[in-house]
Structure 1
């Protein structure tokens, strides 16, 4: 699935370079405990004494990196508990909004790996060659349809053990320009459908001896809000709150794992045309990168919070800033002007139908 990239105001040789790329390099070099301890070993191989400055500095650095790494592991275990055993041959994965984009990418990966995958979407599958995927036409905003399809999935594939709530819709209009019907449809798809699917599939996971995993797709917009995204931002803020409350309620069921995903702008048709004013600080996120992290967390059987790119993992600190500084950050980032060039999935389909290239 190669989607056209949103148009960018900056197109230069250093455009692919971002804070995330630099951090990724550091994480496998200077910030990795194994590599950090290689440095003093190299100095020792040069017959430097333990008391020399390079040796002392490198040992202190390696110790700090190791302690931070261990602290992160311990913190994760305290927050999320132990992992659950995941056997893909026994898992039944339900993905909402999985007919295209990120959802289809995750579905295809698991389908090729031999897992049982059910895709729920109102649209037809974008890839007709997808292996190991069973498609169910379903409007996840309709409780009756979800109940009907859930019974069909259990009959055809077995009780679902992994739920990936990925369904989303973007209107992309100012609040006063939106019709009430558009608001209601957005809230139903982007928020209420998450309640419907969890209420439908979670009881079966609790009854299952091996437990289950619930993946919640949210967005940094739920933390920040943005012009022309009032409905979407409100829903994603609700989805994040739903995840946190649900995770608290499920602590008595340690075999049920919860994964929250809060990406920035994804390179999919859903947000086609959105302007990214600063690709160095806030690069467009490729679906394959998000899919890798989701699949990794599911395979490990852990609960987790996946934020991409880097700023998405630190976005909570934005609300700690003085309100004046918050406004300066918004103006510098251009977050409230990004949707002025929005085309979206519907615009993409319309232009393709009319024969225009995008």
Structure 2
């Protein structure tokens, strides 16, 4: 007797899926029964100081998803490019018939200089463009097919502890992650009549290449008074694992959360509550 999976027959649209949290979200949703639509930039942005994902990373994600027995449609693309997202969403509907879950996860950040007043225009544009405009573009591209189908669905937006409190030297990142909450609250109201739920997840520091990298470690070693940006969890853990966030994403994607919308869900080990 086969066990019915919680997302059997569902299709999930996941951004930033080449590695890190995005890959783990895609893999977790696939193991729960969903087919996956994946996109990632797979290139380096000039103002991002750590190494970003590559096409090989996305290929690895594809192999992992196929290893679960689920199907995946994967593309290299920039979430700042609405046209690319729209083409992917259209192709997803053509291939799979529908989209049920949107996981707008793609995000980047930079660190230094010490004062946010010294953030230059290029960095501001890249960080806010990816983290906020990219989330809006993802919703705008992937949600209309959900509305047209009329079967409801779930939209999960990745914010951050920086979407709840301010992080020093990171006004661009903090503003973008607060902006994601604004998108969530607006679309939770607008999409509720279509039975589409919209929520945000707010991770603390996660053990991925975005946080656990030598560039950031060296910067905090040189600027120890800034370490409160990524330390100070109430629970006795330094960094949480990507799977910890993926479990929350799976909950919000499934019918277990069918009446939860407009919620900011911290998976932060108490970071935002620490005085």
> Who is 1:245 aligned against?
186
2:202 to 262, 266, 274: 262
- For residues 145 and 6 of structure 2, the distance between their equivalents in structure 1, rounded to whole angstroms, comes to 17
- For residues 128 and 41 of structure 2, the distance between their equivalents in structure 1, rounded to whole angstroms, comes to 16
Q: Unpaired runs of 5+ in structure 2?
A: 43-54, 221-226
Q: CA deviation at 1:105?
A: 0.8
Task: Indicate conservation of the 8 Å contact 1:282/1:309, yes or no.
Answer: no
Q: CA deviation at 1:301?
A: 4.4
- For residues 260 and 107 of structure 1, the distance between their equivalents in structure 2, rounded to whole angstroms, comes to 17
Q: Determine which structure has more spread, i.e. the larger CA radius of gyration.
A: 1
2:63 to 124, 129, 133: 129
- For residues 279 and 128 of structure 1, the distance between their equivalents in structure 2, rounded to whole angstroms, comes to 34
> Who is 2:242 aligned against?
287
Give the 4+ runs in structure 1 shifted more than 6 A: none
TM-score (norm 2): 0.75
The superposition leaves residues 285-306 of structure 1 with CA deviations (integer Å, 9 ceiling, x where unpaired) of 2211111122123222422542
Task: State the number of aligned residues.
Answer: 230
Q: Unpaired runs of 5+ in structure 1?
A: 1-85, 319-328, 330-358
> Who is 2:268 aligned against?
309
More deviation, 297-306/178-187: 297-306
CA 159–277 in structure 1, closer or farther in 2 if over 3 Å, else same:
closer
CA RMSD of aligned residues (A): 2.3
> Who is 1:142 aligned against?
81
Q: Is 2:97 the partner of 1:153?
A: no
The superposition leaves residues 73-121 of structure 1 with CA deviations (integer Å, 9 ceiling, x where unpaired) of xxxxxxxxxxxxx963331100001111111012112223442101111
CA 225–207 in structure 1, closer or farther in 2 if over 3 Å, else same:
same
Task: Indicate conservation of the 8 Å contact 2:102/2:156, yes or no.
Answer: yes
- For residues 218 and 277 of structure 1, the distance between their equivalents in structure 2, rounded to whole angstroms, comes to 18
TM-score (norm 1): 0.59
Task: Indicate conservation of the 8 Å contact 2:10/2:33, yes or no.
Answer: no
- For residues 113 and 222 of structure 1, the distance between their equivalents in structure 2, rounded to whole angstroms, comes to 28
> Who is 1:296 aligned against?
251
